[in-house]
Structures are given as structure tokens and as C-alpha cells.
Amino acid sequence: MTTLSSQPLDLDALLAETEDDSAGALVVFSGTIRNHHDNKSVERLSYTAYEPIAKKAIAEIEQEVKDKFGVSRCRIIHRIGDLEIGDIAIHCVVRSAHRGEAFEAAKYAIDTTKSRVPIWKEEHYSDGTSVFREGTPLKT
Amino acid sequence: MTTLSSQPLDLDALLAETEDDSAGALVVFSGTIRNHHDNKSVERLSYTAYEPIAKKAIAEIEQEVKDKFGVSRCRIIHRIGDLEIGDIAIHCVVRSAHRGEAFEAAKYAIDTTKSRVPIWKEEHYSDGTSVFREGTPLKT
Amino acid sequence: MLKIHCLGILQSKVGQAVCEVDWPQNNSIETALATLVEAHPAVASELPRCACAIGDEIVPRSYQLQAGDELVLLPPVGGG
Amino acid sequence: MLKIHCLGILQSKVGQAVCEVDWPQNNSIETALATLVEAHPAVASELPRCACAIGDEIVPRSYQLQAGDELVLLPPVGGG
């Protein structure tokens, strides 16, 4: 199953992949590239990953979310490469019988992905400068 | 803008309709027809609505969600008619600058829609019986 | 005659989506509901939890029905 | 020579994705990082918050580098 992709992310494919007749609730979180950050005008973002650990970490988070919240499906896919405003950087998809745990699980999935998966974003501003966004040190 | 539909719901259309370059977070809640309820095997559901008030109530909830949570977009669409297992009964779409309020807003949108919009569901079971699901009395 | 629209579970209890009841003009919804229960006793247990509407407005049971009004009964809701 | 992969902000500080440092065999990551700082002082302030990896495993700085190992430095992460 794809967890990192250099191509535009396909939500419909992810929804088809996670179909589950026993699940009444579907929660999707998607992160998109917005045109501003800290009052600076953003032109584009470059995402890079350390793939051997990033792929393993995402797969671990998917399993952890299912175990921890008792949801039947959790899939996470992150895009890497150069993204323009409005492009989708990540989809987190959770399905479960009821909506309470689906919301909790999706929130945990995105929070955890941001803090545990070796992916970095460099923000390119309209004034020509660029900055690597501050991140969370990996647990060692 | 469509808030009730007797046709299959189109998430892609709703995502296109709500595009917002200033929003980095997208949360979608979708309710799908699951194959069980209270240990009974469900065959299909029939949704009916009192349209004059249902449409007005959904539009009010969309505005209330935007005001209350400061999110830039909130759209809700509910399907009516006969639905099969796996069919989508509702989409709630929220976009905002950050994810915290997007999750809160989407949860409020579905909770409030369930309790304030005159829509009813009759659950048809495999044994040929059917039951109107218990609901929430409207505030008068 | 007053047209009463029975939605959701009320329709299944009454056996039809709309029923007409005899009704002395310019009376309250409360009075009309009492007349409905006489004709369809099965709805009695549902009515306390129902809201009443005229057109696209929820109205209190003290509302005085006017000529041309159609009463809509809304049982407890639960979409999604 | 030891290959050190510098990712994220480290790559921009070092000016290249991979750098090679002289390195006495069978020594710890800690020692290798000291050698890296001599060659590229700009990374010094970043290293305390970096994790170290060999292949697909995060390893402690006490890890004894083996022949053929390539060290990967992972600065603080933040996808999404």
C-alpha cells in the first residue's frame, strides 16, 4: 500500500481501498498548501522524506491508530516533491462503526504523522526567500 | 447550493465548491450505510425529510459552524430516498487555516445536523422487519 | 377540513402521509391534535415528542390555525 | 571514509545531500558527528535536535559504526 507518493494524491482511490460495509463513519483529514504562513505570502512548498523510515513509520501509525481507537480502517498517504498552493500534501482516512472514535483517530493520525515521520517542508515565499519549517525532534 | 439530494452524493463536487487557498486543513465527515445495528443485519435504509425546514436548517447550521469556529468553509449535503449498504447518507466538509478548529467544526456540523434537521431514517432488516430509528425531538 | 402532514414514524402509524380532520376554524394546534388522536389513537404516544410546523416555520401549539394553513407534524429527527 | 546523509535543513547548511568524512573505523556516531562539525561548523547548532539512522533503523549515538554503514541525520520532522 502506498504511503509516500511523488504524484498528486487520489482520494477516491483511498476511499475505494478502505471500503468497509461494517463502518458507518468516515473521517478524512487532508492537508493542503495554503497561501500564507506567519503573515508571509507562500508561493510553493518542497517536501522531502527519508523514505526507508518514513514508509515504515506511516505503516506503524496506521496500525497503532486501529489498535488504539478500535477503528476498522486507517490509511495515510503523504506527497513528496514540489507542491503548489491548493495541492494536497496528505490524506488521513479513518473508517469505523461510529463517528466519535473516527474523529479521535483521524486527529491522532495527523498529529502523530507530523511528529514521528521523517518528512520536512521548505516553504518558498513570494519575496524569493525560503525557510525550513520548525519541526519536532524524532524520539531516539 | 444543494443541501438535500435524492441522487448519489458527489464529494469531488463539494470539494471543488469549497476550494480555498487560505485554508490548510480539510476535514470531511461522511456517514455511510452500515450493514448492522444493535446486532441486527441491515439491508437498506429509507431517508425522508421535511424539505422546507430541512433545507433552511442545514443552511443555518453551515453559517453557525463558520461563525462559531472561525472556519472559512462549511458545507453539508444529505441524501434522501432509499440507500443500500455502503451508500453515503451525508457529507460534512469543513476547511480552515488550521486543523484543530476544522476537526471541532466538522464534529459539531454532524452532531447538530443529526439533532436539528427534520430527516428520518427507517431501517430495513434482513428478517423483513423495519424500524424508524429513535431520534431527537426538535426544539420548539 | 384541516390537512395534517404526518412525517416519519407518524406516517406509518396513521397509514398515510396526509390526513384531513374536521376542525372548527380559528382554533389552536392543540385542539387540532386532540381531533387527530380521536381519529388515529396510535399517534397519541408519539405526539408529545413532535414539533409542529406551518410551511417552513416551527410554531408553538398555542398557534391559532388560519384558513389555508396545513399543519406539519415532525417527530424526533435523526439523519446522518 | 564515512558517508553521512544530510536531510532537510542539514542539506541546506552543508550544501550537499551526502558528505564524506574521514573516520577511524569502528568508532561511535558521536565521534563521527564531531568530525562532521569540524568540516561543516554550520551544522553544529542543528545536531542536538537530530536523530541518527542506519538504513531503516533509528540508532543511539553510542552506536558503533561498522564497515559499509552510511549514517543518516534526521533533523526535526514536520510533514502534513
| pLDDT tens-place string over residues B70-86 | 999 999 999 999 999 99
**Closest by CA position to A79, among listed A94, A62, A91:** A91
End-to-end CA distance of chain A: 27
* Domain CATH for D58: 3.10.20.30
* Domain CATH for A59: 3.90.1170.40
Q: Does B9 touch chain A (CB under 8 A)?
A: no
C-beta atoms of D79 and A134 within 8 A: no
Question: By 3-state DSSP, what share of chain A in percent is helix, strand and coil, each rounded to 5?
Answer: 30, 40, 30
Return all residues near A139 (Cβ < 8 A) that are at least 6 apart: A116, D51, D58
Residue D8, pLDDT score? 97
User: Considering only alpha carbons, which residue of chain B is nearest residue A104?
Assistant: B103
Which chains neighbour C (Cβ–Cβ under 8 Å, 3 or more pairs)?
B
Q: Judge whether A138 lies within some domain.
A: no
Q: Judge whether A139 lies within some domain.
A: no
Q: Judge whether B15 lies within some domain.
A: yes
Q: Judge whether D33 lies within some domain.
A: yes
Model confidence band, residue D78 (pLDDT cutoffs 50, 70, 90): very high
Choose, out of A11, A19, A28, the residue to mutate when testing the contact with B (most B CBs < 10 Å): A28
Q: Judge whether B120 lies within some domain.
A: yes
C-beta atoms of B34 and A12 within 8 A: no
For residue A71, give the DSSP letter.
-
User: Considering only alpha carbons, which residue of chain C is nearest residue B77?
Assistant: C80
Residue D26, pLDDT score? 73
Percent of chain B with pLDDT over 90: 96
Q: Does A132 touch chain D (CB under 8 A)?
A: yes
C-beta atoms of D75 and A135 within 8 A: yes
Has residue A14 got a pLDDT over 80?
Answer: yes
A49: chain D residues, CB-CB within 8 Å: 79
Q: Judge whether C80 lies within some domain.
A: no
Domain hosting C32: range is 14-74
Provide φ and ψ at B6, rounded to 5°: -95, 0
End-to-end CA distance of chain B: 27
pTM comes to 0.96
Q: Judge whether D64 lies within some domain.
A: yes
Number of B/C CB contacts below 8 angstroms equals 87
User: Considering only alpha carbons, which residue of chain C is nearest residue B33?
Assistant: C80
Q: Judge whether A137 lies within some domain.
A: no
Contact D3, D32 (CB under 8 A): no
D71: chain A residues, CB-CB within 8 Å: none
Over residues B28-45, mean pLDDT? 94
Model confidence band, residue A24 (pLDDT cutoffs 50, 70, 90): very high
Buried/exposed B10-31: b ≥16 CB within 10 Å, e otherwise: ebeebbeebebeebbbbbbbbb
Report yes or no on chains D and C touching (3+ CB pairs under 8 A): no
Residue C23, pLDDT score? 72
CA distance C5 to chain B (A): 10
Segments of chain C scoring below 70 in pLDDT: 24
C-beta atoms of D80 and A116 within 8 A: no
In DSSP notation, chain B reads ---EESSPP-HHHHHHHT--TT--EEEEEEEE--SEETTEEEEEEEEEE-HHHHHHHHHHHHHHHHHHH--SEEEEEEE-EEEETT-EEEEEEEEESSHHHHHHHHHHHHHHHHHHS-EEEEEEETTS-EEEPP-BPPP-
Lowest-pLDDT range of A126-135, B97-106, C16-25: C16-25
| ipTM for the whole complex | 0.95
Model confidence band, residue B140 (pLDDT cutoffs 50, 70, 90): confident
Residue D39, pLDDT score? 92
Residue D5, pLDDT score? 98
* Total domains present in chain C: 1
Who among B114, B118, B137 is closest to C80 (CB)?
B114
A110: chain D residues, CB-CB within 8 Å: 80
Residue B38, pLDDT score? 86
Alpha-helix runs per DSSP H in chain D: 9-14, 29-39
Who among C12, C53, C80 is closest to B89 (CB)?
C80
Mean pLDDT over each residue of chain B, to the nearest integer: 97
A116: chain D residues, CB-CB within 8 Å: 77
Over residues B106-122, mean pLDDT? 98
CA distance C39 to chain B (A): 22
> What is the Cα D71 distance to its own chain's centre?
5
Q: Judge whether A101 lies within some domain.
A: yes
Q: Judge whether C9 lies within some domain.
A: no
Q: How far apart are CA D20 and CA A55, in angstroms?
A: 26
Has residue A56 got a pLDDT over 90?
Answer: yes
Q: Judge whether B52 lies within some domain.
A: yes
Domain hosting A59: range is 4-132
C76: chain B residues, CB-CB within 8 Å: 134-138
* Total domains present in chain A: 1
Residue A26, pLDDT score? 98
Return all residues near D66 (Cβ < 8 A) that are at least 6 apart: D26
CA distance A75 to chain B (A): 15
Model confidence band, residue B22 (pLDDT cutoffs 50, 70, 90): very high
| Digit-coded pLDDT (tens) for B82-94 | 999 999 999 999 9
CA distance A120 to chain D (A): 5
Q: Judge whether D3 lies within some domain.
A: no
Q: Judge whether B138 lies within some domain.
A: no
Over residues D31-36, mean pLDDT? 93
